[in-house]
Amino acid sequence: MANIDTNSRGNDKKGKPQRRTLRVDFTPMVDMNMLLITFFMFCTTLSIPQVMDIAMPAKKGEIKIPGSKSVTVILGEQDKIYYYADVANYDDYTSLKETDYKGLRQMLLERNSFVASKIQDLKRKYYRKEINENQLKSLISEAKKSDEGLNVVIKATKDSNYKNLVDALDEMQICGVDKYTIVDLQEGDSFLMENLKQKGALTAMAERPK
């Protein structure tokens, strides 16, 4: 509350501005600060961090995955994406493909068509009210864990950014890819990208990376 004293002194001359005393009461501001602190504390407790489940590989030795069911995705510069199926082929520079996020989604849906189509069928049953929401989530989870599902290895270059990784993980969810892992970029991956940019010129010049 603000309080202004307008009492003028008797000896003030005519035409001279009158002096007034201004007193500001900050007591209401204390109450407002307490309300704001309580509000932010309450909202903070409700903000639960979102996490993503990671399925760790079973400790049963090396598991061989068919080439048609495995893809390596490399996050490059300026939102570019490179990928190759199965193992790297250093003799054929065209085995590494360059695309964008739209092309990445199309590729994932094609190679993961079995799981993607099954998820779409389950969603149609849910919309027709043939199954409930809990059944839908359970059946989708089973479909993603199928042996017919795609296995994706994600690698990021130093020229990519955090948003590229988040967008790639979003594509995994959209395309129904449940089996994926994030690993470090290898020397061979850098060779593949540079060889693709030079249209195979490095194949005859450099020693094959391990």
pLDDT digits (tens, 9 = 90+) for 28-70: 677 777 888 877 776 665 555 555 555 555 555 555 555 568 9
- Pairwise CA distance, residues 138 & 129, whole Å: 15
pLDDT for the residue 146: 83
Q: Which amino acid is at 102?
A: K
Six token digits for residue 112: 């993961």
Residue with tokens 């520079």: 93
List the chain residues with pLDDT less than 50: 2, 4
- Pairwise CA distance, residues 51 & 12, whole Å: 73
- Pairwise CA distance, residues 183 & 168, whole Å: 14
pLDDT for the residue 34: 80
Number of neighbours of residue 183 by Cβ within 10 angstroms: 11
